[in-house]
Amino acid sequence: MKGKATSFDIAYLAGVSQSTVSRALRDSPAVNQETKDKIFAIAKQLNYKVDKNASNLRKQTTGTLALLLFEDPTVDESQINPFFLAMLGSITRACSQRGHDLLVSFQQLSNDWHADYEDSKKADGIILLGYGDYKDYEEKLNTLLAQQTHFVCWGAEVQGHPEFTIRSNNLQGGKLAGQHLLQQGRKRFAFIGNASDNSPEFLARYQGMVHALAQAGIAENTVAQLDAISTEQAGFDAINQLHAQGKSFDALFCASDLIAIGAIRALQKKGLKVPEDVAVVGFDDIPVASFSSPALTTIQQNTSLAGEMLVVNLLKLINHQAVELTEIQPKIIIRQSSGAAER
């Protein structure tokens, strides 16, 4: 070996990634003891010395927060959920107002971001938006917890650590949707969205609607439910599947606005009128919801407040301060698609 040994040389000889070497040399709990011992032995063999100046520099605050956006299926090539685009602006403003820069990184859920990002030390903390299948995502969150990474995420609660999540009260949002549709005199209900532990936010929205229906004497087993991811195409395809199954309904609650917009298109192609034949309610209140035809009644998540809370709470965690507010209350935005007078 020519020249001074590097962490990449150790990684090559140990058969691990450079980031694993970095974590092992910091005695990170994310690396098992057997691997640590192997790495330390190789480092000693190569007479490897940690650059103390670089190490001290990494321990200093950067004045930067990182935002990791995870890819979502979309009709265009952006691969970014429009809901998160709306939140991005408020996160940027909140960082600026508090004297921090924002580093935005687009990530694939299959990437090893949960292990590698901590070692880059490009930022003091991480904001996570989007997660796909929550069960896979949860494993990576547990790794961040083990690394003692400063992070916050939007959506489902981190098990045992509610302070790491900013979330909407999805159960209440589902109740609002169910109550509104009942007020329009609707009797036969359908829900489109993945109502399982793989999508805890969608599941809570479904459960909220079911709770509202139960109070009106409508049993859950009468609700037509079909899983779907949050895209227009998924909503369109779900309507076709429900009709192929012979399901009949006059009220439709969709787990997202994107699903609702696709569902409305499919209903219209089948000759059904919205809201006359089927009243439709979405969830999110993305900008395009007010311009759909008909304009979409939806459950609004306050993206401005959400973005600010993500930044504020992350800075509190970095500074070892208590986090107080983690949940946002949704509200219903009534437009034409549900058959009620707009307000």
| pLDDT per position as a tens digit, 108-121 | 655 555 555 545 56
H-assigned helices in 32-133: 33-45, 52-59, 82-97, 113-120
- What's the pTM? 0.78
Q: Which of 3-7, 72-76, 191-195 has the highest mean pLDDT?
A: 191-195
In this model, does residue 101 exceed pLDDT 50?
yes
8 A C-beta contact, residue 114 and residue 143? yes
Task: Assign domain 64-168+303-328 to its CATH architecture.
Answer: 3-Layer(aba) Sandwich (3.40)
In the chain, list all ranges with CATH 3.40.50.2300: 64-168+303-328, 170-301+332-338
Give residue-wise pLDDT tens across range 284-319: 999 999 999 999 999 999 999 999 999 999 999 998
User: Which helix (H) or strand (E) is 322 found in, with range?
Assistant: none
* Interatomic CA distance for residues 154 and 159, integer angstroms: 13
pLDDT reported for residue 170: 97
Specify whether domain 170-301+332-338 bears CATH 3.90.1170.50. Answer: no
pLDDT reported for residue 117: 52
Give residue-wise pLDDT tens across range 77-94: 556 788 888 899 999 999
- 7-50 adopts what CATH topology? 434 Repressor (Amino-terminal Domain) (1.10.260)
Give the least confident one: 1-15, 102-116, 154-168: 102-116
Pick 189 or 30 by higher pLDDT: 189
**If pLDDT is split at 50, 70 and 90, which confidence band does 3 have?**
low
pLDDT reported for residue 52: 44
